[in-house]
Amino acid sequence: MMFEAGIAIYVAMAVALAVWIGIFFYLWRIDAQARELRHRLDRQPEREEVRQPTATLRVQQRPAAVERPAEELHEA
């Protein structure tokens, strides 16, 4: 279906306007949700500082190497 040149520009403008209105409402909704989340976080009581988990590392000594005579190494 072909539009006349005069009508086609109005159709293009209406489509562009619809897209811009959709973007506007989408951003408005995201802003409202972010504002609500910010208010909920502000209403929560202050928590004491959360301690980070800690780990204790123990260094284990390796047993001393057993020295074998050279003859035993060649036999194995």
CB 11 within 8 A of CB 3: yes
Residue type, 28: W
Which whole-number Å values give the CA distances from 25 to 4, 22, 29, 66, in the listed order? Answer: 32, 5, 6, 77
How many helices (H) and strands (E) are present in the chain, helices listed first? Answer: 2, 0
pTM (2 d.p.): 0.49
The pLDDT of residue 14 is 96
Cα(44)–Cα(65) distance, rounded to whole angstroms?
60
Q: pLDDT, tens digit, for every residue of 8-47?
A: 889 999 999 999 999 999 999 999 999 999 999 888 877 6
Does residue 65 register a pLDDT over 80?
no
How many degrees, rounded to 5, is the angle at CA 47 between CA 45 and CA 49? 160
Q: pLDDT, tens digit, for every residue of 48-64?
A: 777 788 888 888 887 77
